[in-house]
């Protein structure tokens, strides 16, 4: 739907997201207590379209199954299977790479065939991978099983994430929530699953790791059945106007008398993405067409998407910035268990720390997004989030020389988890929102996949290096201080990302 049909003029190429934020800031209701904020959060969920709610429930279920198994994989590999520290780090890095690094495959398949078949195939592969992992005993089988588990997510995650981003943009354009809030609901649903999953895993490990793997597989059986019955079939729909991505309406606005703001927005979009509005509109129309040469056209379209992505400098910078967050986040599976075992002698507190992180996101994600994320530009929220993540690593580095043990020794780890989680609540929705500003809608699936693929490559090297550092006998303070530098580098990169900006200084959130 064109913004002009909505009865509201466009103030700039950034569009309705900035307008909605400034309007809500001017009409903000009085602050309410915790019950009121919780009621608003529930209202945000109830106000979403049914299909978006289905996607949020999907993310919830994905994470329940995932976190019932994966937080305990490192201990299983190093303890029950006797793998060395570097090998454990390599296996965990391969799992992340086979997931995040191959997201681009799932994204391209989603753009080609639609989300439904890709999600169903991913669920089947995840079921097989979990069952295989439960019975794997040698290194080759373990690696094959974790790659299977990871590639399953490389199929279904970009399908669900890109469709959620697409629906968030359309809901915003129709007068609904700002896209960042809709994406925050999606993140909160995932973290609810990440809260319940470790608790389920803790109970299942009273039996053994194989039982936890079977339980995770059964969760994905439920997801498979639900999506087989309820997820709509078909490829992603037609173009929707989006800030600075060069949809048809943007092209009209630049050339049919919308004024200087439309032209300036088109030029800003061209500078940010490295392609012209006319070219992006032509690409969009080309991908929507069908005919006797569909196979050849699909190949050409794929090549065009790859070329456009490689030429999109701001998007590539965003990928690198986000990869530093993912390297930091994956230390929950590698560095955090090392710290917990050092302080307490066991991993018993690890599940509770994961639960603390997830519960914090479930309770605070939407209020944080509303109070902070919607008042800042997405780029600023990303950089602020990465800075908070770096602070979490610095806390453990500063406390390491004290050699705290017992319950007191878990305090630095708990503070690390809290700060990492708060940074995540700022950085992740902001990153996904930035993607929708930097790429065209018909490339969202591929672009979401490319975002995670670049990150997965970085994590593969980062996990192996971190495992080697811990195994080398390096001082924990030095390792944690080095890890703190990673998100700081990402924040510096994030500042260089230049999405299309409002033509007027007062048209959007503060930067």
pLDDT digits (tens, 9 = 90+) for 216-263: 899 999 889 888 887 777 665 544 434 333 333 333 333 333 333 333
φ/ψ (deg, to 5) at 184: -70, -35
Tokens representing 79 are 């303890």
Q: Other C-beta atoms within 10 Å of 478: how many?
A: 12
Average pLDDT value for residue range 309-313: 80
Q: How far apart are CA 412 and CA 414, in angstroms?
A: 5
**450 pLDDT exceeds 60?**
yes
CA distance 179 to 157: 19
Q: How confident is the model at residue 505 (pLDDT cuts 50, 70, 90)?
A: very low
Please report where in the chains the tokens 């309406």 appear, as a residue.
249
CB 199, CB 481: distance < 8 Å: no
- Range with lowest mean pLDDT among 117-126, 318-327, 461-470: 461-470
* Cβ-contact 127, 182 below 8 angstroms: no
pTM of this prediction exceeds 0.95: no
The neighbouring-strand residues paired with 510 are: 376
- Measured torsion, CA atoms of residues 221, 227, 230, 236, in degrees rounded to the nearest 10: 180
**Exposure of 206 by Cβ count < 10 A (0-12 exposed, 13-18 middle, 19+ buried)?**
exposed
Mean pLDDT of 103-122: 86
Interval 400-426: pLDDT, tens: 999 888 889 999 999 999 999 999 889
Class of residue 139 by CB neighbours under 10 A (exposed 0-12, middle 13-18, buried 19+): middle
pLDDT at 275 over 70: no
**Nearest-5° Cα angle at 202, 196 to 204:** 100
Is residue 10 within 8 Å of 244, Cβ to Cβ? no
Q: How far is CA 449 from the centre of its chain?
A: 10
Tokens standing for residue 85: 């520290």
Tens digit of each residue's pLDDT (9 = 90 or more) over 167-218: 888 888 887 777 777 777 887 788 788 778 877 887 887 788 888 899 989 9
Strand partners, 234: none
- CA-based nearest residue to 241, from 441, 19, 5, 51: 441
- Any residues with CB less than 8 A from the CB of 383 and at least 6 apart, and which? 491, 494, 495
CB atoms within 10 A of CB 310: 12
Beta bridge partners of 376: 510
Q: Which long-range contacts (CB under 8 A, 24 or more apart) does 33-39 make?
A: 37/367, 38/363
Backbone phi, psi, residue 289, to 5°: -75, 155
Residues 6+ apart with CB under 8 A from 251: 266, 277, 278, 281
pLDDT at 145 over 90: yes
Cα separation, 312 vs 186, whole angstroms:
26
pLDDT of residue 29: 39
The pLDDT tens digits of the residues spanning 326-384 come to 999 989 888 898 898 889 888 778 878 887 887 887 788 778 877 776 678 888 999 99
């Amino acid at each position: 739907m064109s913004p002009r049909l909505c009865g509201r003029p466009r103030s700039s190429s950034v569009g309705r997201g900035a307008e909605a934020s400034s309007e809500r800031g001017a009409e903000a209701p009085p602050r309410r207590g915790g019950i009121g904020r919780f009621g608003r959060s529930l209202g945000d969920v109830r106000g979403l379209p049914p299909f978006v709610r289905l996607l949020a429930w999907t993310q919830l279920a994905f994470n329940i199954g995932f976190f019932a198994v994966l937080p305990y994989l490192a201990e299983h590999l190093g303890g029950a299977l006797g793998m060395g520290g570097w090998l454990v780090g390599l296996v965990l890095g391969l799992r992340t790479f086979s997931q995040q690094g191959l997201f681009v495959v799932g994204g391209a398949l989603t753009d080609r065939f639609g989300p439904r078949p890709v999600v169903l195939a991913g669920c089947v592969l995840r079921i097989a991978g979990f069952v295989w992992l439960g019975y794997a005993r040698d290194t080759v089988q373990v690696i094959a099983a974790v790659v299977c588990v990871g590639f399953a997510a490389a199929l279904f995650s970009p399908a669900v994430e890109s469709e959620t981003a697409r629906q968030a943009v359309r809901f915003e354009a129709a007068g609904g929530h700002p896209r960042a809030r809709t994406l925050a609901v999606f993140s909160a649903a995932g973290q609810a699953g990440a809260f319940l999953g470790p608790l389920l895993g803790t109970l299942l490990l009273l039996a053994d790791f194989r039982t936890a793997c079977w339980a995770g597989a059964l969760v994905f059986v439920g997801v498979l059945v639900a999506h087989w019955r309820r997820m709509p079939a078909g490829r992603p729909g037609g173009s929707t106007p989006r800030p600075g991505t060069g949809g048809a309406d943007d092209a009209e606005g630049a050339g049919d008398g919308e004024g200087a703001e439309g032209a300036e927005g088109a030029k800003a979009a061209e500078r940010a993405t490295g392609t012209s509005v006319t070219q992006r509109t032509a690409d969009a129309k080309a991908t929507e067409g069908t005919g006797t040469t569909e196979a050849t056209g699909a190949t050409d379209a794929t090549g065009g998407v790859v070329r456009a992505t490689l030429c999109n400098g701001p998007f590539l910078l965003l990928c690198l910035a986000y990869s530093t967050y993912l390297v930091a986040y994956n230390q929950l599976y590698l560095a955090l268990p090392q710290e917990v075992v050092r302080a307490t002698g066991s991993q018993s507190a690890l599940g509770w720390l994961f639960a603390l992180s997830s519960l914090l996101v479930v309770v605070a994600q939407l209020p944080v997004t509303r109070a902070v994320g919607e008042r800042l530009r997405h780029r600023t929220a990303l950089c602020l989030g990465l800075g908070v993540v770096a602070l979490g690593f610095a806390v453990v580095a500063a406390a390491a020389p004290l050699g705290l043990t017992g319950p007191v020794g878990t305090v630095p780890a708990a503070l690390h988890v809290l700060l990492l989680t708060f940074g995540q609540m700022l950085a992740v929705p902001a990153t996904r929102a930035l993607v929708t500003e930097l790429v065209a809608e018909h490339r969202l699936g591929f672009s979401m996949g490319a975002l995670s693929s670049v990150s997965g490559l970085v994590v593969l090297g980062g996990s192996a290096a971190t495992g080697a550092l811990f195994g080398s006998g390096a001082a924990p303070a030095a390792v944690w201080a080095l890890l703190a530098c990673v998100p700081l580098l990402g924040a510096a990169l994030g500042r260089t990302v230049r999405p299309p900006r409002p033509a007027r200084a007062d048209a959007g959130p503060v930067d």
